[in-house]
Structure 1
């Protein structure tokens, strides 16, 4: 019997080898494609996007959400650099949602790619570092779209987090430098100079030489804006010397372009032309479209105009005009070559991978056959030595085998059902997660669109739509984070919903929302209706109840009513404020869409809605008790 146990153990180990090999192979592929994306990030951004997409699909297959967030962060930054702001926003918002989960780094695979961002072996610290880089990229995007208030908000939030939870000086340098640039773009020069001094203090503690010179360039920008062109020139030249020494092509181009503008202000047109041409050549060497090239061509055209070289001025002005619609034929050829290189590299890696799998499979089959042969020999010897005993106990053995077979089938069925249930639960959580992410993207796109609209009534409608979308997004977030996939705990939901609405109206400092209620759990359909009703009533209170008050309070409660063993019972939703009060028959303000939505949802719940004026407005909704699980 001991011989049989040994043989079975050998077979188990042989069969396990194949599973381990595939897991290791996927990890190697993930690291290879991440490395390729990083390698091409400065040489050719389109190829970097191509490899990052492949790496993301592998990370998704391995359920490595930390890597998904990291790769999406890189993709968002690269798309932002290419001027594809809509896709960049989508990638960065999803990455931001993923990395906000504090448990995301618990089971991360450690590979050489980890060295790109992280200076610590602590997953919690690395999560904060990646969060800082994601918010920095979001801030850059908002800056590119002239939404400087949103840009500063993201940067200051990142600054507060990283300075309290990490010692990463590279990230501190980046965040403070971008805050200074944001103030510079807004024309607040004293604040820009203040943060640039912080950058100079940090610069002595960083090891990355690519940063050297960038702060000199930033101080030159401030001096230029102040009209101190000689001081600006001195700082730009110092920056250019350091940047060229460290081969920082992109910043070299930016500095040369700034020098061209400075010399143009000083009346030295020959030097202006020299640095304009040098900057454009460096932009072109990056291998893909750079948004600053349009501005560089325009500046070069103005320099030629000042020298009265009108043919050259018209030529470069035409280049600037056409650049936003298409790239020139040389850039198209370069892009095609890089795409072909990427395709060939992918085919090579797949061939290597297939050869490795083939070799491993052949070895495993040979080992398996050898094990089976050894097992057969042992079984034959045991059979011969126990032949007489087997005949005497044949009837009993057959009976035992039948019972064991039945038990084994039941165990197999039970394990299969448990695995299938676990898989279905995981898939359902993933669906809720993706729905929540998509709703966040919709909300953010509405916010971007709202920033482009001047009409206050349209902006108000867009904000209301954002809050409605967010109220549904919170429900899907609670579903994938909780244990029960069919129900929502309402007290925590109301707290999250009210915090979002207060933030959207900038009322967090003077309006207080209290949720005094027991912990109750509602089914998803009812929770969505109640959430939308609460969203509309809270919005109305914030918009109209406190117009004559600096501070106020709103109370929310959801309680059981008339509950006993003989009746189904009812629920009471009460929302009250201590504002100026609303007349019961007062005509709805605004578009009236919110009032119609509340009325429609009340009918859907088979409920009754009443208004009362008593030191403010009290709105009460009574509806029949749905299926509910007590917390």
Structure 2
């Protein structure tokens, strides 16, 4: 829901307007990155200068404060949080739950980037009840980020899927683009680089269709560049990084700038341009320091450490990595990057000959990966052990015994796992055999049921044909013309129902009738019954459409009555003409039209026949919860609208 907010001119000096523009004597706030992206780096300064002049508790003020808090988190997290605290105080004083919910979403996004994962999750969950479904995608996006940072990628993917569902349901391109961007990032963390690239490019396509270059479009440019680096396509990645940097500098997205320079440092390091890699790492650190985000600070120092490791300056690398690890709090939550940082620090210590510290850092890296006894870690520790044998011979025997103990533990662990795996495979095989047997029984039962259902349709069709034949014999023995006509009409109605059961019997689908072919067969039958094939043209104007039998029979009877009435009354004196039937589905409803180009229904005309056919049509229309419209210009046309779910 987009809220449009107006404010009288006299409330704001023109110099403080910022992103507010005058319209017909009132000011309207054009939401940044929602209605426009036509402004420069100072847009937050302008908004910050504007909001104090707006009355406290007004919707315009709350909207401005929320946007200030949300977008200041790209430059200064503490300042962003202070704006949100102010907005929440005013929204709660006004008892405005709508804006309280939106401000809580912004608060959760800021706490997430301050590494307060538990607080962020709690705030976001509390906001769910306050946000309309159509606007809840940003809430679910940030909840997905919380779980991603915790390493719970499956739960994170669930929230990305929920964001996509909301976007598709409400036609929100931003939500759809965000969902694909988040999914691409999750695939990348799983090592599925090509799938990540496919989703990232799809996200960029939707962002560009939306036509607004914002924070999340900028971040997705960075992601796509990173995916291309991991796919060993550095020359393709570079333009995406360059575009991301231009946008980040235009709007002051410090977090994205830090991210992109880190990725650029990795790219340059891989290409052997170590001075450029170091310079990019320093740029990443500069923006991380401006943002005061310890997560970005650690990653910036990590990129500097890795580039110096690659260039052989291990002492400098160790210095960068030690500084980065010292800058984070003890409860820093992202163990993935902690493991990467300690792994790089171990490499730096090893390169500088400090093997004892290298071993200690390697063990910390393995601990954070929660998988101490991987084959890779074991090989790494064995290599470090060899170096330490040269540097410190007195510890050789003790360390070797430690390694042998680990090997024995591993052997016992592997043997236990193998036994458990064999038992599980045996159980799964037994379950598979039972399910396959049960599946075969179900298939056989289904085949029997289908045969029985087909036989029922066949017998119903035969019984209806028998009734029709009996009626035909009875007609031949009756002298009363009026009674003959009534029996003939009854015969055509019975034959109409019989034709539906004939189609169900002959076709593979025992539950649905293809209506276009049915109408064509019904029309030919009725024309033949009235001996009108040579003078009346019958046709359908519709695409093939299948309906269930409970809907098809009433509609078939309605069409039967209307075609019969047209042949009886619309073309007097054996005149020529045309009858057309159409049926189509739109927006959950069925639309039926039966039209002829005959003489029409004269005004004030007396009713003809018994009136039973008209009553039958009304009854069947009510049965399908429909309504009928009659048009008599240029012939006669009966239009019907039925509720499809009611009909089904």
TM-score with structure 1 setting the length: 0.44
Higher relative contact order (CA 8 A, sep 6+): 1
Which structure is larger by alpha-carbon Rg, 1 or 2? 2
